[in-house]
Homo-oligomer: A and B are copies of this chain.
Amino acid sequence: MATPSALARVSVVLSRPSHPGNVGAAARAMKTMGFADLRLVAPQRELGPEARALASGALDVLEGARTYPGLEEALADAGLAVGFSARTRDLSHPALALREAAGAILAAARSQRVALVFGNETFGLTNEELGRCQMLCVIPANPRYSSLNLAAAVQVACYELATAQASHPVPAGPAHEAATVEEVEALFEHWQAAMVESGFLDPKRPKRLMERLRRLMGRARPERSEVKFLRGMLAAFQEKKKR
- In the complex formed, the residue of B with least CB distance to A136 is B171
Q: Does A48 contact B (CB under 8 A)?
A: no
Q: Which of B88, B169, B176 contacts A88 (CB 8 A)?
A: B169
- In the complex formed, the residue of B with least CB distance to A36 is B142
Give the bracket for the number of chain A residues in contact with chain B: 35 or more
- List residues of chain B with CB within 8 A of the CB of A147: 28, 32, 56-57
B97–A142 touching, CB < 8 Å: no
**Chain A's interface: helix, strand, loop or mixed, by majority?**
loop
Given the known interface contacts A91-B175, A99-B163, A145-B32, the answer about A140 and B170 at a Cβ–Cβ threshold of 8 Å is yes
Complex alpha-carbon distance, A137 and B92, angstroms: 39
CB distance from A94 to the nearest CB of B (A): 4
Given the known interface contacts A88-B171, A152-B152, A156-B155, the answer about A141 and B29 at a Cβ–Cβ threshold of 8 Å is no
Q: Report A189-212 CB contacts with B as 1/0, cut-off 8 Å.
A: 000000000000000000000000
Q: Does A143 contact B (CB under 8 A)?
A: yes
B142–A31 touching, CB < 8 Å: yes
Given the known interface contacts A57-B145, A94-B174, the answer about A140 and B169 at a Cβ–Cβ threshold of 8 Å is yes
Task: List 24 A-B residue pairs with CB atoms under 8 Å apart, sorted by A's residue number.
Answer: A25-B149, A28-B147, A28-B148, A29-B152, A32-B145, A33-B141, A56-B149, A57-B145, A57-B147, A58-B145, A92-B175, A94-B173, A96-B171, A97-B171, A99-B163, A100-B170, A138-B170, A140-B170, A143-B168, A143-B169, A149-B155, A152-B152, A155-B156, A159-B159
